Amino acid sequence: MAKKDLDLMDSGAKIKLGTSDKIIRGFGYVFVTLYCICCIIPFIIIVSSSFTSETVIRAEGAQLIPKDFTLEAYNMVAKGGGIWKSYVLTILLTVVGTFLGLAIISMTGYALQRKDFPFRNAISFYIYFTSLFSAGLAPYYLLMTQTYHLQDSYLAVLLPLMMSPWLIILMKNFVKAIPHEITESGKIDGAGDMKIFTSLILPMIKPALATIGLFLALGYWNEWYQSSLFLSAKVDVKPLQYTLYEIVNKIDALRNSVAGQYVTLTDIPQQSVKMANAVLATGPIILLYPFVQRYFISGITVGAVKG
């Protein structure tokens, strides 16, 4: 429908185009172009600087256009080697977490939109209430570390990111669009609820699975918060973004520590190496995202107002 409207507006625009239309349109192009440049410049600086030698960065600051071209920083990252282990860990967490999360969220979303399910309001409220009132960080931290003993465990990262009330409501709204007759026809054929869900409903909600799966995967890929709470120095390999956090903030930590005054320059990660790490930690998601963007957009528009 949106597409049809768009075409209508297109044809209208061709018929007559007043001065004010031209002004607005011209302003639109200029403003949007400038805005896009602002969006992308910080990224270009990082990428350019990661290919710039340390001496140039020290002397002249981060570069928009590299003055010289060198792979020095990337060689150093490759020699260090730590980031590849973080890659493997992050990919594992993302795949396992997204898969489990999707399975649970889709089952729950389906059950909660079934109009004949008498507990649907009670369970919906039980889930939704968690976003209205929370115990706060300190009780959560004490529970995770002292009762569940999840300090330094990857489970402390994997589990809490697996679902959220918002994602369940989003799934519910997606599944609602499927006519109830599908479920009815399954029942007439004698299929149980689980069978109806797996063989009739699941194939029909592929776009919803893609959208919610991407939100989950993005959450895991960009995760640093749970890691900062629960993964101490005892854990060698940490998720990618938290590894990046430690690398880029190391210099501050050294400066603040008493021992800092005895630290030699070689212990401090070089600027160009930080940039290379940032490029490597973010690269995959940026390369992937133009292809998956439309699923996010559908998720935002479906889930924007409700929830």
Partner 1 sequence: MKKQKSGLTFFQKVVKYRTLLLMCLPAIIFFFAFNYMPLPGIWVAFVRYNYRDGIFGSQFIGLDNFKFLMTSGKLLELTRNTILYNLVFILLGNFLAVFVAILLNEIRSKWFRKVSQTIMFLPYFISQVLVGFLVFNLLNYDTGFVNGVLTSLGLEKWQPYATAGVWPVILVIVYLWQQTGYNSVVYFASIMGIDGEIIEAAKVDGANGFQKILYIILPSLRGTIVILLLFALGGIVKGNFGLFYNVVGSNPMLYPTTDIIETYVYRSTLVDFNFSRASAVGLYQSVIGFVIVMTVNFIVKKIEPDYSLF
Binding to partner 1 (CB under 8 A) within 218-257 occurs at 218, 221-225, 228-229, 241-242, 244-245, 248-249, 252
Residue whose tokens read 């209205």: 132
Query: Residue 152 half-sphere exposure, CB side, CA atoms within 13 Å?
Result: 5
Token pair for 161: 């990111």
Return the residue of 139, 152, 189, 236 that touches partner 1, per CB under 8 A: 139
290 touching partner 1, by CB under 8 A:
yes
Least CB distance to partner 1 at residue 76 (A):
17
185 touching partner 1, by CB under 8 A:
no
- Binding letters toward partner 1, positions 31-50, x by CB under 8 A: xxx-xx-xxx-xx-xx--x-
Question: Applying CB under 8 A, which part among 141-149, 174-182, 202-210, 257-265 lies near partner 1?
Answer: 141-149
Return the residue of 275, 276, 280, 295 that touches partner 1, per CB under 8 A: 275
By beta-carbon proximity to partner 1, the closer residue of 30 and 95 is: 30
Question: Applying CB under 8 A, which part among 20-28, 80-88, 204-212, 259-267 lies near partner 1?
Answer: 20-28
Residue whose tokens read 């669009």: 177
For partner 1, the binding residues in 59-78 under the rule CB under 8 A are 60-64
Least CB distance to partner 1 at residue 77 (A):
15
Report the 10 Å Cβ neighbour count for 173.
18
Return the residue of 47, 57, 158, 209 that touches partner 1, per CB under 8 A: 57
Token pair for 124: 């919906």
Token pair for 271: 């600027």
Least CB distance to partner 1 at residue 236 (A):
19
Could you give the CA distance from residue 281 to residue 125 in angstroms, rounded to a whole number?
38
286 touching partner 1, by CB under 8 A:
yes
By beta-carbon proximity to partner 1, the closer residue of 188 and 304 is: 304
Closest Cα to residue 215, out of 156, 289, 267? Answer: 289
155 touching partner 1, by CB under 8 A:
no
Report the 10 Å Cβ neighbour count for 120.
15
By beta-carbon proximity to partner 1, the closer residue of 20 and 264 is: 20
192 touching partner 1, by CB under 8 A:
yes
Number of residues that bind partner 1 (CB under 8 A): 121
By beta-carbon proximity to partner 1, the closer residue of 134 and 185 is: 134
Least CB distance to partner 1 at residue 261 (A):
17
91 touching partner 1, by CB under 8 A:
no
301 touching partner 1, by CB under 8 A:
yes
For partner 1, the binding residues in 96-115 under the rule CB under 8 A are 104-105, 107-108, 110-112, 114
By beta-carbon proximity to partner 1, the closer residue of 1 and 259 is: 1
